[in-house]
């Protein structure tokens, strides 16, 4: 029943409103109104609002574990490395459950559902590849709208393997350098196709596949926290030695 659906969405939003606070850097108006109705006032000190503003989530992974059929190593490697670098990372399911079965029958649990972070704005959105996961990403209307908004607002957008074809669908790659899983090259018709492991053009980051997942994740760490942090992370996992 529509009322039941709305009630569930409202309950989940109440439970996860902290995502809005962490991503936006301030308490959303809907939460302040709710607290006011309950007679609750948040006692802000002089610099509290400034602290919230300056300590937002650095990274919001909007589609790792996105749906059935995602490529597990591409998803898990990136999330693992970002969290090792102490970059706040949220995994989100666009399916009907937080429990997602990957392309190779590995089951994982996302942190939250898509509708629970609709009002949050991350600094970066990342799409894993895999089939049929990438097709589900392409077909998800809500995710498409969110990615287009993120692109318009000049957020970082990253995709690996087959997932850059999602960016192609929305025109993000037109005239840009980009890469993908080799078999997807013909689908990136508007891109200046490259064969490097990781390609960065402006705020669009693309990569080739499972074998380039560490390089892809390392580049995301470098973008968010700098070269020194990236180098230290790679050394700590004995990569390239």
- Residues annotated as catalytic are 161
Contact by Cβ (8 Å): 142, 94: yes
* Positive/negative CA dihedral, 212, 213, 215, 220: positive
- Is the backbone of residue 226 left (phi > 0), alpha (psi -120 to 50) or beta? left
Question: What span, in angstroms and rounded, lies between the C-alpha atoms of 151 and 171?
Answer: 10
Beta strands 198-201 and 204-207: pairing type? antiparallel
In DSSP terms, which residues pair with 192 in a beta bridge?
177
């Amino acid at each position: 029943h529509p009322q039941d659906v709305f009630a569930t969405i409202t309950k989940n939003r109440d439970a996860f409103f902290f995502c809005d606070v962490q991503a936006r850097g301030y308490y959303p108006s809907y939460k302040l109104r709710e607290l006011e109705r309950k007679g609750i006032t948040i006692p802000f000190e002089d610099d509290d609002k400034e602290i919230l503003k300056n300590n937002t989530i650095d990274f919001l992974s909007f589609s790792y574990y996105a749906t059935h059929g995602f490529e597990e190593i591409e998803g898990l490697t990136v999330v693992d490395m970002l969290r090792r670098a102490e970059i706040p990372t949220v995994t989100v399911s666009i399916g009907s459950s937080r429990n997602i079965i990957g392309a190779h029958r590995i089951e994982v649990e996302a942190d939250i559902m898509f509708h629970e972070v609709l009002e949050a704005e991350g600094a970066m959105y990342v799409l894993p590849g895999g089939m049929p996961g990438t097709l589900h990403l392409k077909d998800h209307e809500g995710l498409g709208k969110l990615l287009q908004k993120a692109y318009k607002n000049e957020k970082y957008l990253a995709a690996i393997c087959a997932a850059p074809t999602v960016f192609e669908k929305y025109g993000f790659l037109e005239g840009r350098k980009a890469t993908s899983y080799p078999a997807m090259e013909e689908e990136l018709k508007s891109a200046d196709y490259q064969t490097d492991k990781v390609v960065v053009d402006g705020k669009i980051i693309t990569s080739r596949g499972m074998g380039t997942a560490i390089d892809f994740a390392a580049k995301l760490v470098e973008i968010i926290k700098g070269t020194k942090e990236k180098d230290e992370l790679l050394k700590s996992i004995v990569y390239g030695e």
